[in-house]
Structure 1
Amino acid sequence: MRTWISEYVVAVLVFAVLDALWLGAVAHRLYDDQLGHLLAESPNMVAAVVFYAIFLAGLVFFVIHPSVAAGSWRRAAATGGFFGLVTYATWDLTNLAVLEGFPVTIVPIDLAWGTVVAATTSVATYAGVRWLPVTGRGRRPPAPPAR
């Protein structure tokens, strides 16, 4: 259980830094320009926190924990990237399908960001938790049992 919690905490920290940089320094103007007519005056922070909590729980459950257990940063990168693509596509493509005026130009940018941020968070978390004392400090986690 401590390993799961460690993975979640590290993932939250990594993702928070990356997404803050993205939203604050890179994409803020893009989103204002392209989505300004759809954006609320101020974000619903409860909904944002709930989304991030669920997204990161899914990333840890489906990507990070299995990658740490398998001892594979490559698995973390590949499955993390795919998880990010799928989850961000859910939001972008649903909006494109049902919201009038949702700009198609945002979709590839957002899908690329979702892929990159999830893959990067997964690999950084994988690397970080392998060196935490609670997870074995540099020790390779045991491999899952063979089927």
Structure 2
Amino acid sequence: MSDPSSPSVRDRAVGNATGIAATTVTGTWLAALMLGYDWWLAAMLFGYIVIVPVTAMLFDEDDEERDYEIDDRSTEKSSETADEADPLARLRTRYAEGELDDEEFERRLDRLLETETIEDATRWAGRDRDPETEPETEPETEPETDPEHR
């Protein structure tokens, strides 16, 4: 028995109507060419200029509407994901909604900016373990220059 959720043969044929029309046109003019009929070129031109585009206009219209719906849904999901993934945006939203007072917002903003890069986050995590130790800063070094170019 067939799965009731799978599309019927008619549904699949309608969904692939343009491909079926193009294959039929190609088979017709190619067979005519191989059998030596003189009308193969007319069949090819008429098929690709009239039959295939008309079939596409008649049967593929629903697919375009579905594509737009899918794009709209994916855009909504991606914007929600971006908001969830961006801690600064979440922090601003919570502050704007009144969940955080000024001091808490400033404290969390400072912490967020201190841990903007992986190196900063590692230093910040080390500072939490040993509050007496300040994170070490690397001494600045001058770039080496070639003695010949001085």
Asked whether the two chains share a fold, i.e. TM above 0.5, the reply is no
Greater RCO (Cα-Cα under 8 Å, separation 6 or more): 1
* TM-score normalized with structure 2 length: 0.28
* TM-score normalized with structure 1 length: 0.29
Structure whose residues are more often helix by fraction: 1
